[in-house]
Amino acid sequence: MSKNFILLAFVSFTSLSFAQKSETSGPENLNWYLQEPKADGVYGTGATKAYEMLNAAGKKSTTVIVAVIDSGVETDHPDLQDVIWVNEDEIPGNGIDDDRNGYIDDVNGWSFLGGQTEDIDKEALELARMYLTESKYFAGKKAQDIPANERVRFATYEKIKMAFEQELNEKQASLKNIRAFNEYILRVEDQTGKSFSKEANDTYVANTEIDKRLQSRMKEILDILPAEQLGPELKSAEESIANSIAMSKQNADSIRTAIVGDDPNDLSSKIYGCNRYEGPDAMHGTHVSGIIAATRNNGMGIDGIADNVRIMVVRAVPDGDERDKDVANAIIYAVDNGAKVINMSFGKYWTPNKDYVDAAIKYAQSKDVLLVHAAGNDGKNKDVEDSYPTRKLNNNEVAPNWIEVGASSSSKSSKTLIADFSNYGATSVDFFAPGVDIYSTVPDYSYENASGTSMASPAVAGVAAMIRSYFPELTAVQVREVLMATTTKYNKKVVAPNGEKLKMTELCITGGFVNAANAVNYLLEKK
């Protein structure tokens, strides 16, 4: 799944898409996602109102551990350092597995993406890994060459091959077009003698048809992204796609083994990795963690949603597709070390070892752990095309301890209330939560806006942690049931990510938005 901070994807000269644009530089209230629909007129989480009711009722909280399975977290961020989980049974830095859980010096969590001296940063997409693996057996063969007992596997390989080749062609086309834009910027700067800007683009004399088309497209783009932001985004997009193409042709397994030291296809191995929690790029995980638990009322940055939690850092998500083995082991690690809520802001559309992940999901269920998952940022109907991991298990079971979250905005307009990038599904997504222009913690002790279902999921994880903290008698399944029953309904039709005007019940199971205030009120009245 894309990390989706500001996503640029150039498909053709006539098609350009990127993350939802704010009407301004962002909402007027940076903490809008803490607000409540009735009191404040925006579909935030209602966290502020919830705390007013909890305080008025004299409710006390217990500490809840929330595991963030992600890219890594800057654990010493001033707004996070006081809420990072500490394994008190482990003595830091002594090189001994003091608590005998198999993981040496896992003081704040664990990374399944590191070895003795290096860390995995970038990974191939799962589709590419599956294609390269199966090509060893089936490349160049025809159906009649395949033994009867291998024909099902061969049929799957042909589907993988077709999808891989289509995706590779699309990436190559995108890369060509991105490079055309980058080269155009250089020509504008050379002719005008100025740094690229809206003014420079307007005054540039286009002498070829292709430059005329590029100039026209740039006018549209610069209405959305400022020039000083566009240049780095284009360069980043070129680098990212070029890297993805290169990695799709490499033996990702051997690269992984060389760094981490494990066999990525040996599902029986669980003890591998390191205690470098931050990793090479902790932007995504740090932003997610701040939404859940940035220290409240400390006079700096932002207030997280939950006020008595500890963030357990579990690094298992690289730049690229996460591996099923790492996801399963990350869930198991979090469960075994006391997490009661696990946030999972990641996903992919291909999975070679779903049974292994399913077993970890069922294990979490057996230990009363709630799993909160981002629906994805591709504007797809998950009822038609699911992503992984998923609560839909291979044995036709549906995990009851799972919440699937779509993304919404601070907009009061039905046209832009639902994020245009968000996946949805009348039977697959539970409800929506704030996921556009979310201001939160990022590395280097800073803060930034970001958008994505990756932001909506921790908003719900924070609400769930709040409920588990103040109402510890509730099980994970009961917490989900309460949040499902207390969503704020929206009775008008909205513009769906596919461009159609649809009822909210056609986009998610509850037809509404998470509301902590409603949930707390319901539970207090029930008492």
**pLDDT for 120-149, tens place per residue?**
999 999 999 999 999 999 999 999 999 999
Give dist(CA 295, CA 282) in Å, integer.
Answer: 18
What pLDDT shows up at residue 4?
Answer: 33
- In this predicted structure, the answer to whether residue 5 has a pLDDT above a threshold of 60 is no
Second-level CATH architecture of 27-123+264-526? 3-Layer(aba) Sandwich (3.40)
Q: Is the pLDDT of residue 155 over 60?
A: yes
384: pLDDT strictly greater than 50: yes
Q: Exposed (0-12), middle (13-18) or buried (19+): which is 20, by Cβ within 10 Å?
A: buried
| Domain spans in the chain, listed from the N-terminal domain onward | 27-123+264-526, 126-247
Pick from 11-15, 68-72, 392-396: least confident: 11-15
3-state secondary structure of 31: coil
Q: What is the pLDDT of residue 247?
A: 84
Among 63, 81, 66, 39, CA closest to 516: 39
Is residue 463 exposed (0-12), middle (13-18) or buried (19+ Cβ within 10 Å)?
buried
Task: Read off the amino acid at residue 319.
Answer: D
Q: Rounded mean pLDDT of 428-455? A: 96
pLDDT > 90 fraction of the chain, expressed in percent and rounded: 83
516-526 vs 47-56: helix axis angle to the nearest 10?
30
Nearest to 345 by CA among 216, 206, 450, 201: 450
Per-position DSSP letters for 108-160, written without gaps between them:
SEEESSB-SS-B--B---HHHHHHHHHHHHHTT--GGGS-GGGHHHHHHHHHH
| Cβ–Cβ under 8 Å, residues 290 and 446 | no
Residues in the chain, overall count: 527
- Per-residue b or e along 82-112, where b marks 16 or more CB atoms closer than 10 Å to that residue's CB: ebbbebeebeeeeeeebeebebbbbbbbbbb
Give the model's confidence band at 448: pLDDT under 50 very low, under 70 low, under 90 confident, else very high: very high
Place 28 in a pLDDT band, splitting at 50, 70 and 90. low
Range with the lowest mean pLDDT among 263-267, 324-328, 480-484?
263-267
- Indicate if the pLDDT at residue 209 is higher than 80: yes
Average pLDDT taken over every residue of the chain: 92
Cβ(302)–Cβ(447) below 8 Å: yes
Q: Which 3 state secondary structure label does DSSP give 359?
A: helix
Q: Give the model's pLDDT for residue 503.
A: 97
What is the pLDDT averaged over residues 219-242? Answer: 86
pLDDT for the residue numbered 9: 37
Measured CA to CA, the distance from residue 240 to residue 250 in angstroms comes to 15
E-assigned strand segments in 296-401: 309-315, 341-344, 370-374
**Which pLDDT belongs to residue 6?**
35
What number is the average pLDDT over the span 328-344? Answer: 98
CA 474 to each of CA 60, 82, 258, 391: distance values in angstroms, whole numbers, following the listed order = 15, 26, 45, 21
